Amino acid sequence: MGLIIEITGDTRKKRLETFSDLETGLLSVGRARDNDIILDDPYVDPYHGQIILGDTGAWSYQDLGSENGSAHGKESVTHCALASADVLTLGKTQLQIFHPSHTVAPALSLSNPRQRLISFSTWPTNGLLLIGWILAVTLTFYVNYTGEELDAGLLISMYLGVLSLPVVISATWSLLAKVLRGRSHFLSIFNIAVVGLLVLDLYHYPFIALAYNVPVIDQAFLGVLINLTVLGFYLYATLIICTGLKVLTTKLIAGLVPAVAFSLYLIIQMSNADEHNNAPHYNGRLLAPVVLVRSGETADEFLQRLPNIFDTADTIID
């Protein structure tokens, strides 16, 4: 009776060993070179254990008094029966046992969401996204520049700080993917993070123009809603890559997190409303709009008019 063993080492690399015709009905496992199954693992004994074919055709495992022992599933054993798909752990190496008749899962579709996201990992794509992200940061800096003296060291620190954000976030997700799925997929996760940051940065300009020229739009609430929607799509993409969750479960998590966050935001805003405060909040800041269409006034013209605005306010008060 044949046997197929999937061996997963400490580096998560896998290999398959197939045994079709066994003369002795016994497979020796260990680090020594004369074993039937050789494991390159310093925590495995030279002759660690044996996989034995019984008279009834059933397989079993026998530990040979190894230094670190053997585990069947999560239970330490010296002897145990083996069924198809059972997992043995020897040292830091896992052996999953399969009968030749074991039913395998159907082929994955190359067009499924996870494969599409993982394939988003080419270096040209990465380069274009990084250039786009640098240009977006430069545009944001230019729009908010108020004329103060620039320092080269400060600019370099600013760019490095901004660029480190997607790197740190992606490294964290990649570590999770390495633990749960065996591969980090850092480049795919990094590219998705940059896309999310680009969307958050670039939608800001048309959104401000729309909110300013259509007064019925509540800029604060709608802005938070858009930000959380982008967060939801980002969570969905990274969870698909990094975890083994089902698509439906991933969608639920990616939808619930922004929904809960927006609900908390609404509760906080309603709790802080003026009608609930003894001293109503007054926002005395005067910010020049970035994009003006309705009045045709530039940001510089707005700032130049501020003294006159204050003089008029003083006159009215007097």
pLDDT of residue 64: 94
Per the model's pLDDT, the better-predicted residue between 10 and 7 turns out to be: 7
Q: Which segment of 43-52, 213-222, 227-236, 293-302 scores lowest on mean pLDDT?
A: 293-302
Closest CA to 180 of 188, 169, 172: 172
Distance CA 229, CA 259 (A): 9
Confidence of residue 292 (pLDDT cuts 50, 70, 90): very low
Output the average pLDDT for the chain.
83
The pLDDT value recorded for residue 293 is 46
Helix (H, G, I), strand (E, B), or coil: what is residue 94? strand
* Diameter of the chain measured on Cα atoms: 108
127 pLDDT above the threshold of 80: yes
The pLDDT confidence band at residue 50, using thresholds 50, 70 and 90, is: very high
**Predicted local confidence at residue 22, as pLDDT:** 66
CA atoms within 13 A on the CB side of 233: 14
Please state which of the ranges 59-68, 181-190, 218-227 shows the lowest mean pLDDT: 218-227
Rounded distance, CA 168 to CA 175, Å? 11
Instruction: Say if residue 239 is exposed, middle or buried (CB neighbours under 10 Å; 0-12, 13-18, 19+).
Output: buried
Tokens 């370099």 belong to residue: 156
- d(Cα 85, Cα 5) in Å, to the nearest integer? 9
Instruction: Please tell me what DSSP assigns to residue 20.
Output: -
Strand, coil or helix: 92: coil
What does the alpha-carbon distance between residue 219 and residue 232 come to, in Å, rounded to a whole number?
Answer: 20
Q: Quote the CA–CA distance of 126 and 187 in Å, as a whole number.
A: 8
C-alpha angle 259/265/266, rounded to 5°? 90
CB–CB of 18/2 below 8 Å?
yes
Instruction: Name the one residue in this structure whose structure tokens are 């530039």.
Output: 298
Q: Kindly report, residue by residue over 212-239, the tens digit of the pLDDT.
A: 777 667 677 888 888 999 999 999 999 9
- The Cα–Cα gap between 49 and 71 comes to 11
